Amino acid sequence: MQRLVSVLRQDGVDKELIHLVNVLGTACKEINFRLHQGALAGVLGSTQDENVQGEVQKKLDVIANTLLKDLLLQSGLVKALASEEEDDIVIGNKDGDFLVSFDPLDGSSNIDINAMVGTIFSVYRADDSLVIDESSFLRPGREQVAAGYVIYGPATLMVLTTGQGVRMYTLDQTIGEYLMTEPQVQVPADTQEFAINMSNQRHWAKPMQDYIDDLLKGAEGPRGKNFNMRWVAAMVADVHRILCRGGLFTYPWDRRAPEKAGKLRLMYEANPMALLIEQAGGAASTGTERILDIQPEQIHQRVAVVLGAANEVDMVEQYYRHQR
């Protein structure tokens, strides 16, 4: 099995980006260790503090954020970074080549029940500007030069794209290296499986309610086939399932917070996952537009998400078009 660095070299990825991916992988190995220590290390539970999202932080949210931030800044490769757990961007090396956005511990509400969580990251080339501020990050997702996640489950895996398809790497705990275990991830265009939080159904816009209603009618309904539903309550886990065996994931807008476009964050959740899904042959949309074409307005911007099987994403968009 090939090591992560060897595969990236074969793909012609430049050495600075390889180094950056290696730094991200190192930070995630340390996060993985802390997670697996769990209650033995006293890292479970909440801090009682809130992040910029208004969400109560878990102890491991803070630990994961600090590990990633410190290692990225120490590398000298990063001009600035943005995190779900930081109010503002964090300035790094003025000569750094990259801008990095990340969700340090996606699905952290699952920590205390020992369910799957993960780290999501997004990488852009930094420009030559001497001024670095929030506007430096406000670029469409199609400009990402790398994106991926590390999922902490029964095995720890890195799923990565540098624009040449999607590969999966399993962390070999005996040697501390990520080894390629899936060289070409593909998302089938059709599916009979979807992931959504059904408890919010009454709050969705009518197109999404109609779409899900038709799925639930099964073979007797307008879709003419039965669908299964899965829901892990961690985006990284639900998207990982799609990359492993296909499906559709959606977290739509709902009327409880009508001023927000959705729940998930564009810069460090939707964009990196959209790039992975598209690189694997799937599609990613808000229901009305391609996620990777959205021009961000601020680093913590939220967005509705529909991604996975290309034909099913297209079907969701048809429901939205018919309701206009």
Q: Which residues are annotated as a binding site for Mg(2+)?
A: 84, 103, 105-106, 269
User: Cα–Cα distance between 224 and 132 in angstroms, integer?
Assistant: 53
User: Please, are residues 236 and 195 in contact by the beta-carbon 8 Å criterion?
Assistant: no
DSSP string over 175-224: TTEEEEEES-----S--SEEE--GGGGGGB-HHHHHHHHHHHTGGGSTT-
Angle at 212 between CA 208 and CA 217, to 5 degrees: 150
Q: Binding site membership for substrate: which residues?
A: 106-109, 197, 263
Query: CA-CA distance, 319 to 291, in Å (whole number)?
Result: 17
Helices (H), the chain: 4-10, 15-37, 59-75, 206-216, 235-245, 271-279, 310-322
The pairing of strands 117-125 and 264-265 is unpaired
Residues, the chain: 324
* Positive/negative CA dihedral, 287, 123, 14, 143: positive
Which residue is associated with the tokens 């994961």?
64
Tell me how far CA of residue 292 lies from CA of 207, 272, 286, 295, 298, in angstroms: 22, 9, 10, 8, 15
Nearest CA to 271 out of 116, 158, 149, 187 is that of 149
Q: Which of 163, 164, 158 is nearest to 178 (CA)?
A: 158
- Binding site per annotation, positions: 84, 103, 105-109, 197, 263, 269
